[in-house]
Amino acid sequence: MKRVDFICLFFVLAMFLQGCSGTKLIRSFANWNSLKNPDRNNKYLKLHLKDGALYVLDDWIISSSSDTIFGVGTLYNYKRQKISVIQSDPSAKMNQTDRFSIVRDDIILAETNKLENHNAHLAAISVVGVPMAMVTAYCIVNPKACFGSCPTFYALENGKYNMMAEGFSSSISPSFEKKDIDMLYWADEPKDEVTIKLTNEALETHVIRYVDLLLFPKSGGELVFATEEEQFFRTSAIRSPVSCKAEEGDCLSLVKDMDRQERFSAADSKNLAQKEEFLLSFDNDPSAEHGLLIGSKQTLLTTHLFYNVMAYTGKHYGTLVAEVENGNTNAKNHIQKLWDKLGGIEIFIQKEDKKWVKIDEINEMGPIASDVHLVKLPPVKQDQINLKLRLTKGLWRIDYLALATIIGEEFPLRIKPALVLNNDSLDMKAFTHLTAQAEPLVTMPGDQYELKYRIPDDCTYQYFLETKGYYIEWMREGWLEEENLKKAAYAFYFPGRFMRKAAPEYKKVEPLMEKIFWESRYVRK
């Protein structure tokens, strides 16, 4: 290993060793070169354990009870010193004797290029190496624009299924697991049953705890919206801005309706974290409580940067993820700081003294479907409400900006799926995963399910989708050729500098990112 690469690797891994307690981590790098890196042309399975040890298996089987893995290969301790080797006999049938025995509950993360016949638990914690044969032609041309969707949800809109939501886009590993609430803004209003199509259209493993439908009775022209704090408020008297100004001038025509006609800008050519501002004005009723409505989604800037960081860590990516999953909060904080450098949509209100005061920030990630957020505003005595939005250039697509009068807080009627279909047949196993919540539903690229919800027939409803889970991005074979520990160190330790250094590369591909992204979806035929 070149000295500069070794130093960069030291700094990248040292990030994952600071501020930790109660967990054995990799504290010595003297034997890093002795770690066996499997031939990508052959199958392999790396098992990272909770105590820091690592198994690199050449062949393995899973017990009938799915709680133990038996395999042959090499065992390393937490210092990556070789402890034991059990070699495979090509002429012998794989069995459970004279093999390593690894209990499922001791495994924190797996890396493999072969997921066939793996149980759901192992698949749910596996970083998968994707061979070029699985990658679409669009991804080969530009691998950093490949489709990445998280769980994608379709609902009927004017009688046809349209993409409505994506689940937990920022939950990139088990320790980042969270729930996500999405408004099904355009969904039809069936009387007795709602069908949601759940798909995995990316080279990812999706681990889904539940997919619940949240119902709110409709009343006249009133609508319910959700805040970032997952509160719901009924609103009325929704109105467009009087004016909307951005750096290009007037932007009112693009944001006055939720119509998929979005206002967005190009990223800055010198700094991907460069900010821009919107200025909004609304007519005010000082006697009412108001909320700002923001319909938005992200561009592909975050996706591109995430894929780049994965590529830069290369063959060490699984080790880094394993450290995060082993409870290393310092490592997790470094990852979060990288995304915080891009930031969300900051909302400011102008006070009577003309000073701008920040009141909230929208941070929902994901480029698939726009969601509408409610931001509660403080009282304003003036006849006009002046707001400012500050956001990273080239990161956000703004579809809708409006002001609503808040009537009061609402609480949803929660509905779980009554039926789950897979290839038009009942799937009781998937149904149990999504309703009993003992074990999650694990989906692979190309998987599709229909979730059917029975709706009370006493009135018409407005719908939200609440999901919980995480996903694991698969490592593309081509990305391993881009391993660059110096750039990885920059990303984690100096995110501000990284955003400037990454700008020229992103600007080269930015014009074609959207086209390549949507044409590289992985859909099983």
Q: What percent of the chain has pLDDT over 90?
A: 50
Burial class (CB in 10 A: 0-12, 13-18, 19+), 355: exposed
Quick one: DSSP state of residue 95?
-
* CB-CB contact of 129 with 40 (8 Å): yes
Tell me whether strands 243-246 and 356-362 are parallel, antiparallel or unpaired: unpaired
- Let me know if 250 is exposed, middle or buried by CB neighbors in 10 A (0-12, 13-18, 19+): exposed
Name the phi and psi angles at 356, rounded to 5: -95, 130
Q: With contact defined as beta carbons under 8 Å apart, do 478 and 143 qualify?
A: yes
- Greatest Cα pair distance in the chain: 85
Distances (CA, A) of 454 to 30, 218, 231, 235, 447: 60, 17, 24, 26, 23
Pick from 406-415, 426-435, 486-495: least confident: 486-495
Side chain identity at residue 63, one-letter code:
S
pLDDT tier, 93 (very low <50, low <70, confident <90, very high otherwise): low
Identity (one letter) of the amino acid at 293? L
Q: Which of 324, 311, 305 is nearest to 130 (CA)?
A: 311
Averaged confidence pLDDT in the chain? 84
Task: Check pLDDT > 90 for residue 127.
Answer: no
Structure token pair of residue 418: 């009554």
512 with 165: CB under 8 angstroms?
no
Average of per-residue pLDDT across 383-403: 97
Which pLDDT value is given to residue 217?
94
Element containing residue 472 per DSSP (H, E): strand 461-473
- Mark out the alpha helices in 16-141 (DSSP H runs): 120-123, 137-141
20 or 48: which leads in pLDDT: 48
Name the least confident of 97-111, 223-237, 459-473: 97-111
Which residue would you say has higher pLDDT here, 196 or 518?
A: 196
Q: What is the pLDDT of residue 164?
A: 94
Q: Model confidence over 193-244: pLDDT tens digits?
A: 999 999 998 888 899 999 999 999 998 889 999 999 999 999 999 999 999 9
Q: What is the pLDDT of residues 301-316, one digit of tens each?
A: 998 898 889 889 888 8
How confident is the model at residue 163, as a pLDDT?
92
User: β-pairing, 68-76 with 100-103?
Assistant: antiparallel
- Give the Cα separation of 479 and 313 in Å (integer): 9
Spatial contact of 179 and 468, defined as CB atoms under 8 Å apart: yes
Amino acid found at 477: E
pLDDT digits (tens, 9 = 90+) for 145-180: 455 568 999 999 999 999 999 999 888 888 889 999
138: confidence class by pLDDT, cuts 50, 70, 90: very low
Residue-wise DSSP of 60-75: EEE-TTSSEEEEEEEE
Neighbours of 349 (CB within 10 A): 19
User: 304: closest CA among 147, 141, 525?
Assistant: 147
* pLDDT above 60 (res 418): yes
Range with the largest mean pLDDT of 322-336, 395-409, 469-483? 395-409
Q: How many Å apart are CA 26 and CA 76, to the nearest integer?
A: 11
Is pLDDT of 486 > 60?
yes
Among 30-39, 45-54, 278-287, 342-351, the least confident range: 30-39
Cα gap 395→265, rounded to integer Å:
8
pLDDT of residue 355: 94
Task: Give the residue-averaged pLDDT of 421-436.
Answer: 94
Quick one: which H or E segment has residue 193?
strand 193-199
Cα dihedral value 369, 374, 380, 386, nearest 10: -10
Residues 6+ apart with CB under 8 A from 506: 267, 272, 301, 304, 305
What separation in angstroms does the CA of 22 have from each of 39, 50, 105, 117? 34, 11, 18, 34
**pTM, entire model:** 0.84
Q: Give the rounded percent of residues in the chain with a pLDDT score beyond 70.
A: 83
So what's the pLDDT on residue 94? 57
| Contact residues for 429 (Cβ-Cβ < 8 A; gap 6+) | none
